Amino acid sequence: MSEINDILKETLASTSIKFDKKEKIKAIITLIIMFTVTFILWNKEILEPVHLDFLSILIYPIKIFAIFLHYLSHGIVAIITGGHVVRLRFFSMYESLTSSCHFGCVFSTYNWFSHILAASAGYLGNIFFGCLMLYISIRKNWDKTVNTIIGIIMLLITLFIASSILNASIKNLHNIDIVTTSFMILFGSFMILSGTKFSDKINTFILRYLGIVSCLYVFFEMPKNIFITTPNDGYQCNAQVAGLLGMPFLSKTICIIWLLLSILALYFTLKITFKTEEK
C-alpha cells in the first residue's frame, strides 16, 4: 500500500504545473472575472423575462453543462442507493428561460433516506465535479483528456435520451427539443475537438471555466431559489429535501447551506491546489 501511495504522489508531483506568486494572483483574478460575467449573464432573464437574444444564446451551452451535471448527479446517487432513473427529458430553450430548467430527471428511490440523498445530490454533485475539474486543470496534459471525456459522455447521454424517447414510440418525436438537443451535440463535439486539437492553454481555460461554473452553480441559481417565488418552487431540490424532512420552512435555509458549502469547497480546493503548486 505504501508503494502505491508513493507512486501516486510521484505521479501527481510530476504532472503538477508550477506557478509563481504573480501567476497565482492572475489565475484567481481570472476566476473572479469568469464568475462575475457568468453570474450577470446567467440571471439576465430575471430583468428581461423570456427575452431571447445573443447573450442568452451565448450563456445557454454553459447552463446546459451545469444542469447536465446536476441531473446526472441526481441519477447516479439514486442508482447507487438502490433506486433507478424513471425518465429523462430535454426542455425547450423557451421553457428553460421561463422555468430555469433544461432537463427533467424523475428518479425512484429505495427508501426515505435514499430519497433525501438523491434529492440533495444535484447541487452537491455540481460542487464535487466543479472542484474536481479545477484541481485537474493544473495537471499537465490532463485537461485535454478530461475535456475529451466530457464531450464523449455528453454525446452518449444525449443520444441515449433521444433514442429512448424514439424507441418508446415514434409519436414521442415532439418530446425531443431540437434546439436543446442540437446544443448538447454541438457542445459535446466542441469539447472533443478542444481536447484533441486545441492547445493546453485553451483546454486549461475551458476546464477551469466549467469547473468554476459547476462548483458555484447553486450561487448562480440563488436569486431564483431564495429571492423569487415561482409556481415551480415545490420542485426545486431544496424544497424537496425540506419536505422530506417534514420541515418545508427550511427550504431557503437548505439552499443557503449548499451555497456556503460551495464557497468553502472552492476555497479549500484552490488552497490545496496552490499549495501543491508552490515552488
pLDDT digits (tens, 9 = 90+) for 245-265: 888 888 888 888 999 999 999
Mean pLDDT, the chain, integer: 75
The count of domains in the chain is 1
Cell of 110: 429505495
- List Cβ neighbours of 192 (8 Å cut-off, separation of 6 or more): 147, 148, 151, 152, 155
- Does residue 14 fall inside a structural domain? no
- Does residue 9 fall inside a structural domain? no
Helix axes 178-197, 54-80, angle to 10 degrees: 90
- List Cβ neighbours of 5 (8 Å cut-off, separation of 6 or more): none
- Does residue 133 fall inside a structural domain? yes
Q: Work out the pLDDT band at 24, boundaries 50, 70, 90.
A: confident
Task: Annotate 201-218 with DSSP letters as a single string.
Answer: HHHHHHHHHHHHHHHTHH
- Return the C-alpha torsion angle 63, 73, 159, 147, nearest 10: 70
- Does residue 83 fall inside a structural domain? yes
What average pLDDT does this structure show over 138-167?
81
Q: Are 144 and 150 in contact (CB under 8 A)?
A: no
How many Cβ atoms from other residues are within 10 Å of residue 29's Cβ?
10
- Across 92-134, the runs of DSSP E, i.e. the strands, are 103-108
- Does residue 13 fall inside a structural domain? no
Structural domain of residue 222, as residue ranges?
Answer: 19-277
For the segment 44-99, what is each residue's pLDDT rounded down to a tens digit?
655 554 455 666 677 888 888 888 888 888 888 888 888 777 666 655 444 443 33
Helix axes 200-215, 112-136, angle to 10 degrees: 150
Least confident piece of the model among 24-28, 101-105, 243-247, 261-265: 101-105
pTM for the predicted model, two decimal places: 0.80
- Does residue 11 fall inside a structural domain? no
- pLDDT exceeds 80 at position 127: yes
- Does residue 8 fall inside a structural domain? no
Helix then strand then coil, % of the chain, to nearest 5: 80, 5, 15
- pLDDT exceeds 80 at position 273: no
